[in-house]
């Protein structure tokens, strides 16, 4: 590796890219300094209904909750943001993705929220691909989430990455989706609904 490529290499889980609208974004692990920018900009993340998918089961966001999100337990949690390429604390954060390992099984659950100003520009896919990579690096058997039945963007994104529907109960609003990562899947997954 020559000097230039070493100098340009970003730290782990960092990726800088340019959106179709010319805006530069940096995907990176969350930092405690992101607490205030996320808290103050949360109203811009989109309609309440979408934020609810991220925050469930609570609808209100407090600064303590953001502070908790911004200081993940490195052994059990992984939180990425897509932000302006500025120092944390000064950068606006446009997307947050959180994964946590379940203590009772070798499984991780994720939630993701992309601001309405960035929606449909590939940020969600990049974050999800990094989560799948992280889950594989951690030797996690399954990566899953609960997604509202009417959340077409998330269901389509998940389906394109190979997620299946683990259990579908017509009575509930939420669909339990899962990506099998272990060598020998033991669950009988169903295809996601169209």
Ligand X SMILES: CC(C)(COP(=O)(O)OP(=O)(O)OC[C@H]1O[C@@H](n2cnc3c(N)ncnc32)[C@H](O)[C@@H]1OP(=O)(O)O)[C@@H](O)C(=O)NCCC(=O)NCCS
Question: Is 133 near ligand X (CB under 6 A)?
Answer: no
Q: Could you tell me the CA-to-CA distances from 16 to 21, 66, 111 in Å, in that order?
A: 15, 24, 22
152 belongs to the binding site for ligand X (CB under 6 A): yes
Residue 93: CB atoms within 10 A of its CB come to: 23
Q: Which two tokens stand for residue 75?
A: 């052994």
Interacting span for ligand X (CB under 6 A) from 28-36, 73-81, 121-129, 182-190: 121-129
**Among 25, 70, 154, 179, which residue interacts with ligand X (rule: CB under 6 A)?**
154
CA 49 to chain centre: 17
User: Which residue from 154, 30, 178 is spatially nearest to 97, judged by alpha carbons?
Assistant: 30
CB of 137 to ligand X, least distance (A): 21
State in angstroms the smallest separation of the CB of 143 from ligand X: 12
**Interaction between residue 143 and ligand X (CB under 6 A):** no
Backbone φ and ψ for 181, nearest 5 degrees, come out as -115, -20
To ligand X, the closest distance from the beta carbon of 107 in angstroms equals 15
Q: Is 176 in contact with 146 (CB distance < 8 Å)? A: yes
Applying CB under 6 A, the span of 24-32, 120-128, 130-138, 178-186 interacting with ligand X comes to 120-128
The nearest distance, CB 64 to ligand X, in angstroms, is 21
Residue in this structure with the two tokens 């120092």, named with its chain if needed: 87
Phi, psi at 180, each rounded to 5°: -80, 125
Min CB(8)–ligand X separation in Å: 25
Question: By three-state DSSP, how is residue 174 classified?
Answer: strand
Our CB check for ligand X shows the closer of 79 and 112 to be 112
Residues that bind ligand X (CB under 6 A): 50, 53-54, 111-114, 119-125, 145, 147, 151-154, 156-157, 160
């Amino acid at each position: 590796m020559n000097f230039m490529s070493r100098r340009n290499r970003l730290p782990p889980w960092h990726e800088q890219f340019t959106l179709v609208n010319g805006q530069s974004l940096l995907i990176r692990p969350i930092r405690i300094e992101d607490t205030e920018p996320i808290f103050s900009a949360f109203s811009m993340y989109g309609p309440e209904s979408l934020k609810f998918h991220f925050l469930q089961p609570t609808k209100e966001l407090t600064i303590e909750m953001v502070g908790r999100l911004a200081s993940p337990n490195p052994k059990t949690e992984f939180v990425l943001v897509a932000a302006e390429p500025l120092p944390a604390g000064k950068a606006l954060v446009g997307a947050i993705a959180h994964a946590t390992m379940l203590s009772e099984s070798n499984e991780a659950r994720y939630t993701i929220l992309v601001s309405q100003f960035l929606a449909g520009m590939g940020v969600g896919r990049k974050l999800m691909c990094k989560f799948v990579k992280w889950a594989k690096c951690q030797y996690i058997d399954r990566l899953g989430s609960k997604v509202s039945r009417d959340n077409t963007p998330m269901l389509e994104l998940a389906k394109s990455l190979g997620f299946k529907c683990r259990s579908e109960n017509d009575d509930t609003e939420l669909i339990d989706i899962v990506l099998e990562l272990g060598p020998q899947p033991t669950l009988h997954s169903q295809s996601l609904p169209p």
